[in-house]
Amino acid sequence: MDLQPILNAIADDCSKEKERGVVASYIPELAKVSDEKFGMFVLDAQQNEYFVGDAHERFSIQSVSKVLALAQAFGIVGRSLWKRVGVEPSGNPFNFLSLLEQENGIPRNPFINAGAIVVSDVLLSTLKDPKQDFLAYIRELANDQSIVYDNIVAKSEKDTGSRNRATAYLLKSFGNLENDVEEVLDLYFHQCSVSMSCEQLAKTFFVFANRGYCTRRNKYLNINQVKRINALMLTCGFYDEAGEFAFEVGLPGKSGVGGGIAAVLPQQYSIAVWSPGLNKKGNSKLGLNALEAFTTQTNLSIF
Ligand code: GLN
């Protein structure tokens, strides 16, 4: 199927949209990005590329990185990871804290902040040079050595990250962090600060669409690990809007407060979209619209 006319039409519709959501400002650096940006990139199973708009411009991937950190940690420690982090949707915002106390320091899933902070702790305990090794993992998956951390974004979040600090200390108090809180947060903030384009994200997420094999056909995950990561994306990838995303779009996916969303249709394609304006639940407003239009018009969703 030629997806290009469909992408063009979606971008055209999005460009006319007046209500573009609100760019995140709680991390001050993110507020500098224009809400006019819009890009989309699709990589199909044959690795044909389709793209539109600002698909090659880099942005802060933020929580989209949680999938990549999970993939690396799960690949290293396997099923024992689930003793420290659950696999249930939380039905709450990404930075919600009270549930963590009620549930004795075991985060609901790896895609809320508390869960991702535990995953960062696992990486810190198992990698030799965690920051470098995590970046190397993404670069390998993307087959792109130019991917880097945005240290200004990482610092901006570090300076204002009281809530994540509170989360990490609560985890620590329950004995669910092995390492020093500031060290864990430093890795977590850097991981969130990685900047990538829709093209790079779609190429990276190809591994989840392609049974654990990257675009160069190297194997990173086994098929059962991919099954579990995709299940988590479907049920937990959009916080308290995961049901809505499954209902409207019908793909496993993950959003970030930088306005990016990456999603996959197993064995068919990976897709990334970027529009910085967020809806009230912290997910890209036009990104959701665009993905809904894409799966509806192509009839290509998991349902
Ligand atoms: N770095 C952001 C935070 O911890 C990630 C949140 C997100 O993208 N949903 O708040």
The three-state DSSP-derived secondary structure of 168-228 is: HHHHHHCCCCCCCHHHHHHHHHHHHHCEECHHHHHHHHHHHHCCCECCCCCECCCHHHHHH
pTM of the model: 0.97
Query: Would you state the pLDDT for residue 200?
Result: 98
Within a domain: residue 303? Answer: no
Average pLDDT over residues 189-202: 98
Cα of 165 vs centre of ligand 1, distance in Å, is 12
136 and 210 inside one domain: no
Q: What is the pLDDT of residues 224-268, one digit of tens each?
A: 999 999 999 999 999 899 999 999 999 999 999 999 999 999 999
The C-alpha atoms of residue 110 and residue 14 are separated, in whole angstroms, by 31
Within a domain: residue 48? Answer: yes
80 and 118 inside one domain: yes
Burial 17-28 (b: 16+ CB within 10 A, else e): eeebbebbeebe
- What domain range includes position 224? 4-62+195-298
- Residue 157 Cβ < 6 Å to ligand 1: yes
Within a domain: residue 131? Answer: yes
Q: What is the pLDDT of residues 155-192, one digit of tens each?
A: 999 999 999 999 999 999 999 999 999 999 999 999 99
Cα of 66 vs centre of ligand 1, distance in Å, is 9
136 and 226 inside one domain: no
- For the chain, the domain total comes to 2
173 and 68 inside one domain: yes
Q: How far is CA 206 from CA 143, 156, 160, 172, in A?
A: 11, 30, 33, 35
Which of the residues 50, 137, 188, 220 is marked catalytic? 188
Q: What is the pLDDT of residues 47-91, one digit of tens each?
A: 999 999 999 999 999 999 999 999 999 999 999 999 999 999 988
